[in-house]
Chain A
Amino acid sequence: MKRIRQISVFVENRPGRLLEVVELLGKHSINIKALSLADSTDFGIVRLVVKGTDDAIRVLKENGFTIAETHIIACMIDDKPGALANVLKILADNQINIEYMYGFASPIEGKAVMVFKFSETEKAEKILSENNIQMLSQEEIREI
């Protein structure tokens, strides 16, 4: 099982609130590997993959943030046209629903990382692995 721990933080939509989250992590030397911000009109959810998940959870909780931990899957794909479409096609063909996703370029030459939240994580993992899509472990994501 190659699952990555993701922290979600509930934030009200007001200037500086995201900054507070990020500053807090910075102050405690917690490095953010990936971040996405989903927003509605009056609140947002900051989703984070960090180096030092337990510390981040503790620090955020101590500072009164509401958080949730979710398991997500990070796929390493080729950084070239059509590579993402290839993965999504496999998922679509197998009726796998994506709740949300976000991506970031990998420092490894020619690679990119896509982070997925699936409604059926286990099934998705199985399909991805059968199709030889590389999934990153928690350790691997820390290192890149």
Chain B
Amino acid sequence: MIYDDEMETLPREALEALQLKRLQHTAERVYNLVPFYKRKFDEAGVKPEDIKKLDDLKRLPFTTKQDLRDNYPFGLFTIPLEQVVRVHASSGTTGKPTVVGYSKRDIEVWSELMARSFAAAGVSRGDIIQNAYGYGLFTGGLGAHYGGERLGATVIPISGGNTKKQIMIMKDFGSTVLTATPSYTLYLAETLKEMGISRDEIKLRVGILGAEPWSEEMRRMIEEKLGIDAIDIYGLSEILGPGVAIECIEAKHGLHIWEDAFIPEIIDPETGEVLPDGEEGELVITTILKEAIPLIRYRTRDITRIIKEPCKCGRTHRRIERIKGRTDDMLIIRGVNIFPSQIEALLMETEGVEPHYQLIVDRINNLDTLEVKVEVSEKMFSDEIRHLQKLKERIEKDIKDLYGITVKVTLAEPKSLQRFEGKAKRVIDKRKI
């Protein structure tokens, strides 16, 4: 279902004209209002009025997460704090958090884009959204909340965690839509089973899942276990929060990025050079509708590609491929680039293996080692060692075939690996470099 018919199906030419106008306006504002951008533009030898066509975007400087940290907390804001109605921040696990602000209009736009995203996932008025994204500084909870209300659905602001209660509410309130991370959704599915609650006792129909990279196989597993449509949603706090891009339920392939609000580019993460549509690289986003903290060519660190083919749903906004991983999640093991989501996909194709896994990276005698811990499911368990050994060897061989590296697979007891209520932390890197 299309929420904003006019904007979502705007012919490319009109959409690009709109983008150019909004880009020019944004460039002018940041140049005049943010000393950081004035300096960056000047260093790059470019003025806002040099933006004559969309392609001129590539003349503008990049913005990085470090730039946000350097200007912590409010240095990149273009409006005075009294016009900022809300602030969010990233978790800041690797240093100072990155702080973003929203004007009243920013919240409106965000709600609108999120409502559009819900609609693209097949959600409508009358649906009951169980919002299990965390509320707080993390943008997931409130972003989905406002979007759901904007759409006219009923929102249950349950936030993350408290799994047994989640299930009670899901059953008693008849929730039809779940918003959560994919790993938490799997955990919920497991708990449902443990509690002896059958699929028929809940009304869940759609899961809108994001905030961490996941695989097609994980989708299949979630859909099978819960009997729902699992839809991939994308967002990041620096840009907006959830609702930057979403898959449509019609195609479930690639996420429509709302191009009237964002201009996506794919660059080579090493050289910074812009790559043509279809090529894989780092996603860079320029916000063209944001008021409080517009960002020029923000380097997301997410690896994806732009799908240029039109989508069967009729939306004209281009799609980005499911995020493959992050440049900073990418593991380099003995010179090989490994994304945890690819290992995940492989594990999920292996019969008898539970979807829970952990990757442990270490360096022993100057050599990187990768240990893959996987849980063995009850149905695979045999009382003969050799059957389990065979399973282990099969996974080791599959990974070797895929990456050409030897890894150690360790079989773990079911439910022994940590469960996550928010973003899963699958990688433990013990290397001291």
Genuine A/B complex: yes
Chain B residues within 8 Å of A139, by CB: none
| Interface assignment of A144: CB less than 8 Å from any CB of chain B | no
Known: A10-B376, A40-B389. A65 touches B384 (CB 8 A): no
Binds A, one of B163-171, B195-203, B411-419: B411-419
A43 contacts B383, C-beta separation under 8 Å: no
| Interface assignment of A125: CB less than 8 Å from any CB of chain B | no
A66 contacts B383, C-beta separation under 8 Å: no
A49 to B414 alpha-carbon distance, docked (Å)? 23
Chain A residues within 8 Å of B367, by CB: none
B383 contacts A45, C-beta separation under 8 Å: yes
A64 contacts B415, C-beta separation under 8 Å: yes
B389 contacts A70, C-beta separation under 8 Å: no
A118 to B389 alpha-carbon distance, docked (Å)? 19
Residues of B contacting A: mostly: loop
A117 to B385 alpha-carbon distance, docked (Å)? 13
What mask results when residues 369 to 384 of chain B are scored 1 for a CB within 8 Å of chain A, else 0? 0000000101001111
A12 contacts B383, C-beta separation under 8 Å: no
A66 contacts B384, C-beta separation under 8 Å: no
What mask results when residues 392 to 433 of chain B are scored 1 for a CB within 8 Å of chain A, else 0? 000000000000000000111111100000000000000000
Contact of B376 among A66, A99, A100 (CB under 8 A): A66
Contact of A12 among B384, B385, B413 (CB under 8 A): B413
B383 contacts A70, C-beta separation under 8 Å: yes
Interface residue total, chain A, C-beta cutoff 8 A: 21
Q: Considering only CB atoms, which chain B residue lies closest to A6 in the complex?
A: B383
| Interface assignment of B10: CB less than 8 Å from any CB of chain A | no
| Interface assignment of B388: CB less than 8 Å from any CB of chain A | yes
Known: A10-B376, A66-B376. A99 touches B385 (CB 8 A): no
* Chain A residues near B (Cβ < 8 Å): 6, 8, 10-12, 38-40, 42-43, 45, 47, 64-68, 70, 99-100, 117
* Chain B residues near A (Cβ < 8 Å): 376, 378, 381-385, 388-389, 410-416
